[in-house]
Amino acid sequence: MDLNRHDFQLKELIDRIQTNDNRLIALQVPEGLKMQALEMMDEIEEETAAKVILAADPCYGACDLVHDKMKMMGVELVAHMGHSQMNIESGMPTQFIDVTYDGDPEIDAVLPLLAQHRAIAESRLGQLEEDLSEEEAKERFLDAVGRVAPLKGTKLGLVGSIQHLHLIFDFKKRFEAAGYEVEVPVGGARLTFPGQVLGCNYSGDDDEIGHYLFLGSGDFHPIGLALHTGKPLAMLDPYTGDADEMGAERIERILRQRFGMIMSIQDSQTFAILIGEKPGQMRRTLALRLKRLLTKHGKKGYLLALEHIGPELINFYPVDAFVNTACPRIAIDDAVRYSKPLVTPFELEVALGEKKWETGYQFDEIP
């Protein structure tokens, strides 16, 4: 990652600290930017009368706002960098600081993939005949994760990770000029910007969108987007200019692994239900519902609340399996690190016979 090409927009923060005459603030930065944190602390301390405490625990999203512990230290304002505001209340005044990247890749590399993906969407759209039997409809409308999901359009859904969203409407024009009908989806309250996606939320999806382009790097967001929507997905990386796609084999491999997890808990009797303590990951009601569901099926569920979740913190509990209600990506991306099966709420419900795998995989979204 070329950090010199990132813009850390500290000016608004410095203005706010000066206006409020804050004396102690906390700075929270994502993992990829921690190396720059000391430089930013220097800049804030030079420009204002405030002292800065770095909230140095791991931080992977705005779900993870520092809260009461900082209040106890006397912190007056939290400066949270690189993520946008969510529909959560941390109990602390918080200033969100944008980080943007100026990489502006050519679109040519991704056009052949988009043409293939639009053809897939068109083939699904062309099958909206009314006289199909239920079985025929099911077969034709199945998406990449096995759901029956008829489409109403073949638009290109244009999404990105937050540091590239300032370019999204420029890219919309470029793809329109290349012959695509483009939608920049607007999601629910957990998302701030048009085109934004999170690893746990793809709520802007709609049935007018037939395929996607993700502007960003890595496969964290693309895996979630493909699991959530079941639609073809191309990726364009602003850091390298490379184009790629989230292939069906990759999604199939993940689904096979998830199905294996479900099979492996069929006979489990005792479960630890993990509750995330981070403000934007806490799903207490869901955890309690799962505990009741386990009781209904004659099984035992223990509720475990944790700020951070890792194998070293839970592997030793004498239970048969874990159910995760914290960050949904812990089960999807990290399950192999745990000594016992680690499943999502949907997967537990399938194992208990409350939901059906045959009607398609349901991504664990936090709304």
The answer to whether the CB of 95 falls within 8 A of the CB of 80 is yes
Six-digit token string for 78: 């939290």
Residue of 35, 48, 49, 50 lying closest to 3 (CA atoms): 35
Member of 26, 227, 327, 331 binding ligand SF4 (CB under 6 A): 327
- Does 223 sit near ligand SF4 (CB under 6 A)? no
**Could you say whether residue 121 binds ligand SF4 (CB under 6 A)?**
no
Spatial neighbors of 325 by CB under 8 A, at least 6 apart, are 273, 274, 275, 276, 283, 286, 287, 290, 345
Smaller CB distance to ligand SF4: residue 44 or 63?
63
Of 280 and 301, which has the nearer Cβ to ligand SF4? Answer: 280
Residue 127, burial from CB neighbour count under 10 angstroms (0-12, 13-18, 19+) = middle
**Under rule CB under 6 A, residue 329 binds ligand SF4:** yes
Question: Nearer to ligand SF4 by C-beta: 210 or 328?
Answer: 328
Residues that contact ligand SF4, how many (by CB under 6 A): 11
Residue closer to ligand SF4, measured from CB, 38 or 186: 186
Of 52 and 198, CB closest to ligand SF4: 198
299 or 329: whose CB is closer to ligand SF4?
329
> What is the smallest separation between the CB atom of 329 and ligand SF4, expressed in angstroms?
5
Distances (CA, A) of 356 to 103, 169, 189, 349: 43, 39, 29, 8
Q: Identify the residue among 63, 65, 162, 332 touching ligand SF4 (CB under 6 A).
A: 63
- By CB under 6 A, is residue 198 in contact with ligand SF4? yes
Q: Which of 281, 324, 325, 362 binds ligand SF4 (CB under 6 A)?
A: 281
The number of C-alpha atoms within 13 Å of 224 and in the hemisphere containing its C-beta is 25
User: What's the rounded Cα separation, in Å, for the pair 131 and 74?
Assistant: 68
**x/- track of binding to ligand SF4 for residues 286-325 (CB under 6 A):** ----------------------------------------
Q: Is 191 in the site for ligand SF4 (CB under 6 A)?
A: no
> Which CA distances in Å does 286 have to 64, 203, 282?
19, 19, 9
Alpha helices, H only, 126-203: 134-141, 168-177
| Part in contact with ligand SF4 (CB under 6 A); list of ranges 57-65, 74-82, 114-122, 153-161 | 57-65
- Is residue 193 at the binding interface for ligand SF4, with CB under 6 A as the rule? no
**Alpha-carbon distance 310 to 40, whole Å?**
30
Dist CA 345 CA 343 (whole Å): 7
Partnered with residue 303 across adjacent β-strands are 273
Toward ligand SF4, which CB reaches closer, 118 or 329?
329
Window contacting ligand SF4 (CB under 6 A); options: 68-76, 161-169, 198-206, 317-325: 198-206
CB of 63 to ligand SF4, least distance (A): 3
> Is residue 141 within the footprint of ligand SF4 (CB under 6 A)?
no
Looking from the CA of 325 toward its CB, the CA atoms found within 13 Å total: 25
Is 298 buried (19+), middle (13-18) or exposed (0-12) by CB count in 10 A? exposed
| 158/198 with CB nearer ligand SF4 | 198
Q: Which residues of 68-93 are buried (b: 16+ CB within 10 A; e: fewer)?
A: eebeeeebbbbbbbbbbebebebebe
Tell whether residue 81 is a contact of ligand SF4 (CB under 6 A).
Answer: no
Kindly tell me which of 217 and 281 has the beta carbon lying closer to ligand SF4.
Answer: 281
Q: Sort strands 182-183 and 155-160 into parallel, antiparallel or unpaired.
A: parallel
Interface contacts to ligand SF4, rule CB under 6 A? 60-61, 63, 198-200, 280-281, 327, 329, 366
